[in-house]
Amino acid sequence: MTDLLITNARIIDPEGDIIRPGALLVRNGVIAEIFDTPTPEVSRDLLPDHLRRDANNRFVAPGIVDIGVKVCEPGERHKESFGSAGIAAAAGGVTTIVTRPDTLPAIDTPEVLEFIRRRANEAAPVKVLPMAALTKGREGREMTEIGFLMDAGAVAFTDCDHVVADTRVLSRAMTYARSLGALVISHPQDPGLSRGGAVTSGKFATLRGLPGVTAMAERMGLDRDIALVEMTGVRYHADQITTSRALPALERAKANGFDVTAGTSMHHLTLNELDVSDYRTFFKVKPPLRAEEDRQAIIEAVRSGLIDVICSMHTPQDEESKRLPYEEAASGAVGLETLMPVMLRLYHSGDLTLPGLFRAMSLNPSRRLGLDTGRIAKGAPADLVLFDADKPMILDRFKLNSKSKNTPFDGARLQGRVLETFVDGLSVYRSQ
Amino acid sequence: MRFDQRHLLGIEPLRPDEITALLDLSDKYVTLNRARDKRSTTLSGLTQINMFFENSTRTQASFELAGKRMGADVMNMSMQASSIKKGETLIDTAMTLNAMHPDLLVVRHPHSGAVDLLAQKVNCAVINAGDGRHEHPTQALLDALTIRRAKGRLHRLSIAICGDIAHSRVARSNIMLLGKMENRIRLVGPATLMPAGIRDLGCEVYEDMNEGLQDVDVVMMLRLQKERMDGGFIPSEREYYHRYGLDAEKLARAKPDAIVMHPGPMNRGVEIDGTLADDINRSVIQEQVEMGVAVRMAVMDLLARNLRARPKEVLV
């Protein structure tokens, strides 16, 4: 049974940029009816009690589509499996995870990709869509079998944080991808300038004696990528834009009509370089946290729509790889479960509206991947999250469902809690 | 006089009055060190472990001598040769040592922040003997003591720090300390060896050495850190010496009574002219070494007092 009635809800519609009170009826996994009345009459014969939810005037939004989640299968299942990532996603209101290919080995053949899809469907309660590597072994030398990988279900192609340094290789891969209509996702960084960098260069890096990478490295990476997009006409998405310097380049590319979109991470929207403080390695992410002016500029870019997508950049790391001197410690933070409450900080601070937030977390990523989700409309899949935007909590990292607990938000005061998550109308998580 | 620190991880957390307290006590240890009988019992019964994850001769010797003169049981561990090579993590090494109940742990490590990390995991007092490019607090303190004794004061001086600022923990600790004591700090060096955002720390930056040394009271040279360079910061050592090496001609720009300092070990003919380094009228490089022992004695003395004042923690 995938029928469901949610009454007394405040429905967040990112397409219409509006919140409207009403009710939702789901039939066969899709949204069948959207009511303007909070408690519409639906006969008990058609819909028994256990399929009814009274939202009590809380919010219902389209489920989050998180592009760039690392599930450590194959290779490092002790850090995260499809089971644990799926449960974490459901608990965080994420209904579709789009996985990264930077596993061990990299996901670069249709065989590995098929294995991933099979494992994911068995183990995860949410939808899992895999991305594949753009070059074999993410080594930047030869392109992968983009056609076969698309047939096997790859939704996008990326070498993740391995920047394809050889522009000839990248231009060929992009040209080939364009001919198949594939989406290429890139990590805009100049590989020479960013080599060895652990923090953003500047006063803080100097004070702490840590090797810095200039913010200019991101702009140079983006400039180069956009030139190649102009040359090849490929569909292009920048995984994370985190500095104000890169924004004019992005704006120009969009104004010129290139098929370019960009994302940013929850960390770069809510934290800055000073949070690293006394070498706190849980705040080491890639690219490194930026200056406060950059953070402000990125928020503004999300608000204006220049940056399309907010993602969690979920990157599980075990304690051993984090309990090291800062330079040696691994990068990345888990985020599936904290994405929504952390991003609600920007709603509570008045920086973003709820429809604006879900446009960047649900609607835009869904559209970019050509999915039908991420919206509240008749006939759309009933991937929904029911949440309380105000409920306060203090985050305890050991209560996270991920196998790895490396979040920079341990002990943070957050507001917002997922009450229930639905995938195709089916409840996959319900808070106690 | 108050000194409220549990560890000495850097100059950054120290208050100016704590720095003064340390220097005042160091002066007393200078006197003791010059006496025939140099022994004291200040640290008797305490165990001091020197853990050096990076090569060091002078700093390690200085700490060892300081501990022994004060009656501590001193143990040296050269960590490059030991368990690190067997894959043990820094924290495991720290926990292992902690179980042996040391009271003072002197640590040098090639990574910035490593000593902070270690200090979080042990019960004893930790002294940073240099971590990566971050801080080297006892060096800055011994430099300050040398300056104070030569110039009669440690404020309102014009001090030029010259050379490889970017890779130097000595420079960072000195910028902190001399800034807290209200001096005018000039940084002189090629733009490639000048870290980003350094002007925000209240320093004046000069790329021309002759301009930078104009009328300064103190010329502090830094060693060119060849081992910390990951390629191509300067075109050649001879060009560097020509533009940034300290010789009599460049020093003539400074005040006539300006002193010349160097944390050692020196690269003669790279950053400093050999004759100048040996000129007893200008160079205080030997005094710096002498002050080093006294400052380290003072640091361990004050930390040991705080250690004894604290209730003994039970190992978990």
Which tens digit of pLDDT belongs to each residue from A354-370?
A: 999 999 999 999 999 99
Query: In this predicted model, what pLDDT tens digit does every residue of A67-85 receive, in sequence order?
Result: 999 999 889 999 999 999 9
Q: Do A326 and B109 touch (CB under 8 A)?
A: no
A64-374: CATH number: 3.20.20.140
In this prediction, residue B230 carries a pLDDT of 61
The residues on B that touch A, with CB distances below 8 Å, are: 12, 89-91, 109, 111-114, 116-117, 131-135, 169, 172, 195-198, 200-201, 230
Query: In this predicted model, what pLDDT tens digit does every residue of A10-42 receive, in sequence order?
Result: 999 999 999 999 999 999 999 999 999 999 988
Q: Do A206 and B132 touch (CB under 8 A)?
A: no
B221: distance to nearest CA of chain A, Å? 19
Q: Chain B residue with minimal CA distance to A320? A: B89
Query: In this predicted model, what pLDDT tens digit does every residue of B180-209 receive, in sequence order?
Result: 999 999 999 999 999 999 999 999 999 999
Phi–psi pair at B283, nearest 5 degrees: -85, 130
Residues of B at the annotated binding site?
58-59, 86, 108, 136, 139, 169, 223, 264-265
Q: Is A428 in contact with A6 (CB distance < 8 Å)?
A: no
Query: In this predicted model, what pLDDT tens digit does every residue of B231-290 receive, in sequence order?
Result: 689 988 889 999 999 999 999 999 999 999 999 899 999 999 999 999 999 999 999 999
Q: Do B113 and A203 touch (CB under 8 A)?
A: no
Q: Where are the beta strands (DSSP E) in A235-344?
A: 235-238, 260-265, 309-311
The predicted model scores a pTM of 0.92
Q: Is B2 in contact with B17 (CB distance < 8 Å)?
A: yes
**Mean of the per-residue pLDDT values of chain A:** 96
**Domain definitions of chain A by residue range:** 4-60+382-392+415-430, 64-374
CA-based nearest residue to A157, from A113, A213, A126: A113
Chain B positions in Cβ-Cβ contact with residue A197 (cut-off 8 Å): none
A282 touches chain B (CB under 8 A): no
A328 touches chain B (CB under 8 A): yes
Distance CA A299, CA A277 (A): 22
- What is A4-60+382-392+415-430's CATH topology? Urease, subunit C; domain 1 (2.30.40)
SS3 of A193, please?
Answer: helix
Q: Is A395 in contact with A410 (CB distance < 8 Å)?
A: yes
Listing DSSP states for A355-375 in one string gives HHHHIIIIIHHHHHTT-S-SS
Q: Is B241 in contact with B269 (CB distance < 8 Å)?
A: yes
In this prediction, residue B231 carries a pLDDT of 64
Q: Check the CA dihedral A200-A203-A206-A210 and report its sign.
A: negative
In this prediction, residue A48 carries a pLDDT of 87
CA-based nearest residue to A53, from A387, A359, A331: A387
In this prediction, residue B93 carries a pLDDT of 85
Chain A with chain B: Cβ pairs closer than 8 A: 74
At position B157, the amino acid (one-letter code) is: L
A319 touches chain B (CB under 8 A): no
Chain A positions in Cβ-Cβ contact with residue B133 (cut-off 8 Å): 209-211
CA quadruple B109, B114, B115, B121: dihedral, nearest 10: -130
Domains, chain B, with CATH or none: 7-136+290-309 (3.40.50.1370), 137-284 (3.40.50.1370)
